[in-house]
């Protein structure tokens, strides 16, 4: 009889530890509260309350769970806001969270071209925000190309 496969360990942590990990991930991926609210359908105000270090909501909830002997577990999975598709002579860089957009990179000419943005009816993008997305995608592409060398 075969033994069951061992599961990867998960971390026992307080809610404040989990929200600290959330903040670090938001900073590492340059995500705003508005982008998270848009992709998760959570109110921005609620996110601001949870992610604000000045209030004690999360610490209070952690102490409540600790008092009631309720453990919280979490496991960090791979997350990225962008994806690169390598098609030989060109790369397609796509933002896979809302607002979704993409841009192409020609390896021969080392130039970016054909920026495309897919937005809903109510999501109008400003020129500044478009430039921010393009800059982030260009940085992501440069890091990707460095790893290939």
80-138 tens-digit pLDDT: 899 999 988 999 999 999 888 899 999 999 999 998 887 666 566 778 888 888 999 99
* Interval 13-31 mean pLDDT: 87
The pLDDT score that the predictor gives to residue 6 is: 59
Residue whose pair of structure tokens reads 């897919």 in the numeric block? 118
Confidence of residue 72 (pLDDT cuts 50, 70, 90): confident
In which region does residue 106 sit, left (phi positive, over 0), alpha (psi from -120 to 50) or beta (all else)? Answer: beta
Average pLDDT, the chain: 85
Residue whose pair of structure tokens reads 């900073």 in the numeric block? 27
Please answer whether residues 109 and 116 qualify as being in contact, where contact means their C-beta atoms are separated by less than 8 angstroms: no
**DSSP code, position 2:** P
Please answer whether residues 33 and 19 qualify as being in contact, where contact means their C-beta atoms are separated by less than 8 angstroms: no
pLDDT at 4 over 70: no
pTM of the model: 0.71
* Interval 3-29 mean pLDDT: 78
């Amino acid at each position: 009889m075969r033994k069951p496969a061992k599961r990867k360990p998960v971390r026992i942590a307080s809610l404040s530890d989990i929200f600290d990990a959330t903040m670090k991930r938001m900073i590492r991926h340059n995500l705003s509260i508005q982008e998270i609210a848009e992709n998760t359908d959570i109110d921005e105000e609620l996110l601001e309350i949870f992610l604000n270090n000045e209030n004690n909501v999360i610490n209070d909830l952690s102490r409540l769970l600790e008092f009631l002997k309720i453990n919280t577990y979490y496991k960090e999975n791979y997350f990225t806001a962008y994806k690169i598709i390598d098609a030989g002579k060109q790369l397609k860089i796509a933002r896979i969270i809302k607002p979704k957009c993409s841009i192409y990179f020609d390896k021969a000419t080392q130039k970016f071209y054909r920026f495309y943005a897919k937005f809903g009816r109510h999501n109008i993008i400003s020129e500044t925000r478009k430039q921010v997305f393009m800059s982030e995608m260009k940085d992501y592409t440069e890091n990707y190309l460095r790893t290939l060398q």
